[in-house]
Structure 1
Amino acid sequence: MKSIVALLCTLFSLGAWANQLESIRIWPSPDNTRIVLDMGAAPRFNYFTLSNPHRLVVDLSQTQNRVSFSEVQNNSELITRVRSSKAPEAGSYRLVFELKAGVKPAVFPLTPAGDYGHRLVVDLPYEDQSRASQPAVRNAVAGRDTIVIAIDPGHGGEDPGAIGPRKNREKHITLSVSRRLAELINKEPGMRAVLTRTGDYYVNLNKRSEIARKARADLLLSIHADSVANAGPRGASVWVLSSNRANREMAAWLEKQERQSELLGGVGEVISQTDANPYLTRTFLDLSMDKSRADSYAISEHILAAMGKVVRLHKRKPEHASLAVLKSPDIPSLLIEAGFISNPQEESLLLSADHQQKVAQAVFNGIKSYYRENPSSRTMVASQDVGQAALSARKHTVKTGESLSVIAQRYGVSVGLLKGHNRLQSDVVRVGQVLDIPSS
């Protein structure tokens, strides 16, 4: 009889505790705090907020807690305390997050991925956005603008990226290399760096481009470490947006009229002042995307040439891919794979401070080389060697992906003037063709 009762109690207990709260992880960032609840199974939940004092309450149905609150690492300025409270029904568990300010939380479950099982994610955006890190903007120095380079350390926080044979995580390597690159850029007169993340937290993929745009960046570089199932491949590579992705993104941008005013180079302002003419809008966006892709490819060639002098290359030519961080139609965007973390030897190199510095220095040299050869009259970089810049600006060798309109736009001349100066009979140019650039 006792054994039957014990069995019934066990079965009742298993039914009552259908899920487990296994850990609580808190990831503060400049814009929000993310809370991750690691669950034994898919969570069933409800949540609401309270004021006076501010609290977020999360009810987990049929869940047993296995977390010691004293062991939860909390570096968030928003969350003051994590505790439990009386659950609304038997078998459930109530979590309470005491807060310094009111929030509008976003709460959503995530299915198992990588090393993680079921999770319940809570994003708490800061209502006072003044606490968020303000991106650097262009500085007028002696009447000239600073070239702004946005650096995106791949992954972060809840997203570890690739994991090497020795369990090292890509997100830490990308942040370290990015910081080294930013330091080099910030030491260069006429250049400034802005990081999409400065710590171990996750930034939405679409928001990475938005951060670059708000900083009025001239270039966006996303730093990553490659990984494949085979441990053999080694070497760095540079990726640019494929034409298919460019076409898809163009359609998406056309549907978002309210965001078009954020485009750089005056394109957004022109679009916002039109009478919503779809053909005119398409023309402006086509020009912007064409120039962005051509510039991306040209910059990637300079970076690969510089990297090839100091590190092994996996591919000596820029590769094309459909990657979210490359999608911006108004900012030249590159993804740089610093090496293969899946290769044991390269994993060790990527962890080395000396190697990280080599990679950062090579990327910086490539950026600087490009802007030296393609100066803009508004920048300090262009003014540092006026004679050489003027000489190099008089000739242009056509590169893959460039059109006559793109080249004319780059040098600030009309297509007609460029054609007439070079005695061209059509708008078609070929790769390797050398054009004389007339005075504007």
Structure 2
Amino acid sequence: MKSQHYLSSIKGSSRCLTLALAVGTLLASFAVSAASVEEVRLWRAPDHTRLVFDLSGEVEYKLFTLSNPARVVIDIEGSSLGGDLSRLDFNESPISGMRSAIRDENTLRIVIDLGAQVEPRSFTLAPNSEQGDRLVVDLYDESPSANAPRSTITNSSNSTSAPRSDERRNIIVAISAGHGGEDPGGIGYDGKLREKNITLKIARALFDQLERMPGYTPIMIRDGDYYVELQRRSEIAREERADLFVAVHTDWYRTSRANGLTIYALSGDRADRENSRRVAQKENNADLLGGVGGDLDLSSWDDDVALTLVSLQMAWSMEQSLIAGTRVLESLDGVTRLRRDKVQQASLEVLKSPDIPSMLIETGYLTNPDEARRLNTSAFQQKLARGIAQGVMNYFYDAPPEGTLVAWQKSNGIVPLPGIYMVKRGDSLSVIAQRYNVRLAELKSVNSISSNTIHIGQELTIPGVGTAEPEEHTIRRGETLSEIAQRYQVSLGSLRQANNITNDRIMVGQILKIPAS
């Protein structure tokens, strides 16, 4: 009898436990599905619009499209909307409006009204140190945006085909500002500074520096506050036939003491993995190598040969990345503290292109108050950009790509004048004057220098900027006077005057005199 009572107690306890577990499971399920939408954020990129729904927890959702009129519909089980959709700015996006309602008593339905056809994609993100659960909806344009920024329009006239032998093409430098959009990157010591904003300002300053130099065409991987996937960044550079890829970032550390600039190139370990991946995928898509001069289709080779070809190309790219990074480090020595005086190698996704030399520049630490405040000033951003640009130009002048204007300049003994030269270790006034073919007295005069003392990082004005450019230009098919004036950094009026032109009519083969800028 006692044992039977004991058994009944066990059964009763078991039922209670089962009931408790069932209730707990139900409550847990309710907790997961009852998460609310706390805020909705929007970013416009050149080829898509991103919506980020900030959530109070995990959700179950369904996304589908409706036509006549075109709409994207999102159903979120057991949820509610806490944000205000009316505050969103839909300008320059395919969205004409957004609305929400509760249906079937506990399902939040969000309807995105469209003014243009899109391809929707969606995914959820788990919480991180900065943000909670998120639902991300990307609306990809079915045709390229007419409002795409100066940088990300692919298939440009500079890059779609190999240059003809009678042309002198520009060197193309792809500039990638780190993070962007819903990804702020590192957060500053004050909780306000965002890496994505600092990197974009430095990248734009670098763009402006290179754009002013004849023989260079910079492109911006992102030119606004939106996110570009890491793999897509190197793809854009390859589509644009870039000769160099420069990623701009800021650093972060758990204490405020860390400071200084570091440059990274791809490590051998990551390179080996990337080589194997490209060979493994060669049957599924025509993976191309070869850069500006031509393309090599890996699918036409067996795996062993393809791996050898990719490995050789990657070895060249890694070697050139280290050389280019070293030239930039040399130019930045004195501009800011170098945390490492040699290029470091790391397994970074954004540096993995096998046919484009690539570097990532950590410009300083936002967690260091002094360095963060300096990085946030326009004067220091411009100084960094000048140093990076000078290093890039030094690298390409040492070994210019065949068929480029820089290669032509070097073969004719012309040293491009940077306008502002940043003194680096080992420089002297006489060496700088000799390098740019200017008189020492004139160099000292324009810089108000009475002695021969200069210091690392000092900025010197080089007199006679523009005199080192070609004095004549032979007009090619498709060129205009305004384009030629812009290329040589001279005014349209002075170009007309130097050639006795009263209108803008020019002919193929005509030789123009290029006035000093």
Instruction: Please state how far the C-alpha of 1:63 moved relative to its aligned partner.
Output: 0.7
Structure-1 residue corresponding to 2:404: 379
Distance 1:259 1:239 in 2: 30
- Contact (CA 8 Å) 2:241, 2:292: kept in 1 or not? no
Distance 1:130 1:204, change over 3 A: same
Pair 1:121 & 2:136 matched: yes
* Corresponding letter in the other structure for 1:306: S
Pair 225,266 (structure 1): closer, same or farther in 2 beyond 3 Å: closer
Provide the secondary structure at the position in 2 that maps to 1:148. strand
What residue is the counterpart of 1:295 in the other structure? Answer: 320
Aligned residue identity for 2:47: D
Aligned residue for 1:382, secondary structure, equals: helix
The 8 Å contact of residues 34 and 121 in structure 1, kept in 2 or not, is answered as yes
Q: Secondary structure at the match of 1:377?
A: coil
Given that residues 213 and 264 in structure 1 are in contact (C-alpha distance below 8 angstroms), is that contact kept between their aligned partners in structure 2? no
Q: Which residue of 1 aligns with 2:454?
A: none
| 2:36–2:79 contact (8 Å) kept in structure 1 | yes
Return the match for 1:138 from 148, 153, 158.
158
1:358 maps to which of 378, 383, 405? 383
CA–CA separation in structure 1 for the residues paired with 2:334 and 2:200: 23
Partner SS for 2:355: coil
Q: Where do residues 192-231 of structure 1 align in structure 2 (5 Å cutoff)? A: 192-231=217-256
Asked if 1:163 corresponds to 2:187, the answer is: yes
RMSD of equivalent CA atoms: 2.2
**Residue 15 of structure 1, CA deviation:** 7.0
Cα distance change, pair 16–314 in 1 and its aligned pair in 2 (3 A)? closer
Are the aligned partners of 2:200 and 2:223 in contact in 1 as well (CA < 8 Å)?
yes
Cα distance 1:60–1:76, how it changes in 2: closer, same or farther (>3 A)?
farther
CA distance in 2, matches of 1:279, 1:54: 49
- Give 3-state SS (helix, strand or coil) of 2:308's partner: helix
Task: Verify: 1:330 aligned to 2:355, yes or no.
Answer: yes
Deviations 1:345-390 (A, max 9, x none): 0000010000000110000000000111112331101222325589
* 1:23 matched to 2:42: no
Determine if contact 1:216/1:264 at 8 Å carries over to the other structure.
no
Q: Which residue of 1 aligns with 2:127?
A: 112
Q: 1:75 to 1:314 in 2, by over 3 A?
A: farther
Aligned to 1:271: 297
Give the Cα–Cα distance (whole angstroms) in 2 for the partners of residues 130 and 92 of structure 1. Answer: 34
Q: Secondary structure of the residue that 1:378 maps to in structure 2?
A: coil
**Corresponding residue for residue 215 of structure 2:** 190
Give distance in 2, aligned partners of 1:74 and 1:237.
Answer: 39
What is the CA–CA distance in structure 2 between the aligned matches of 1:321 and 1:173, rounded to whole Å?
Answer: 23
Q: Return the offset for 1:76.
A: 4.4
Question: Residue 64 of structure 2 aligns to a residue in which SS?
Answer: strand
Q: Quick one: higher RCO (CA 8 Å, sep 6+), 1 or 2?
A: 1
Shift of 1:130: 5.0
Q: Which runs of 5+ in 2 are unaligned?
A: 1-26, 416-517
The answer on whether the counterparts of 1:261 and 1:268 sit within 8 Å (CA) in structure 2 is: no
TM (normalized to structure 2)?
0.69
8 Å contact kept, 2:238–2:291: no
The count of residues paired between Structure 1 and Structure 2 equals: 376
Matched-pair contact (CA < 8 Å) for 2:46–2:145: no
Contact 1:158 1:202 in 2 (8 A): yes
Q: What amino acid does structure 2 have at the position aligned with 1:144? A: R
Q: Relative to structure 1, is the Cα distance of residues 335 and 282 closer, same or farther in structure 2, using a 3 angstrom cutoff? A: same
Give the secondary structure class of the aligned counterpart of 1:129.
coil
Q: 1:15 to 1:158 in 2, by over 3 A?
A: closer
Task: Please show how residues 398-437 of structure 1 align to structure 2 within 5 Å.
Answer: none
Relative to structure 1, is the Cα distance of residues 375 and 389 closer, same or farther in structure 2, using a 3 angstrom cutoff? farther
1:74 deviation in Å? 3.2
The residue number in structure 2 matching 1:79 is: 95
Change (3 A) 1:69 1:185: same
- Flag the structure with larger Rg: 2
Secondary structure at the aligned position of 2:80 is classed as strand
Moved more, 63-72 or 26-35: 63-72
Give the direction of change, closer, same or farther, for the CA distance of 1:17–1:217 in structure 2 (3 Å limit). closer
Residue 358 to residue 259, structure 1, CA distance change in 2 (3 Å): farther
In structure 2, the CA distance between the partners of 1:117 and 1:76, relative to structure 1 (3 Å rule), is farther
Contact 2:33 2:59 in 1 (8 A): no
* Offset at residue 68 of structure 1 (A): 1.9
**In 1, Cα distance between the equivalents of 2:36 and 2:296?**
55
Q: Which AA in structure 2 matches 1:182?
A: F
- Per mean C-alpha deviation after superposition, the further-off stretch among 136-145 and 234-243 is 136-145
Q: Give the % identical residues.
A: 37
1:35 aligns with 2:60: no
**DSSP-derived class of the 1:97 partner:** strand
Deviations 1:308-327 (A, max 9, x none): 13211111000010000011
Distance 2:174 2:295 in 1: 22
Does the residue aligned with 1:82 lie in a helix, a strand or coil? strand
- Provide the TM-score with structure 1 as the length reference: 0.81
Change (3 A) 1:230 1:259: farther
Contact 1:267/1:288 (8 A) holds in 2 = no
Alpha-carbon shift at residue 281 of structure 1 (Å) = 1.1
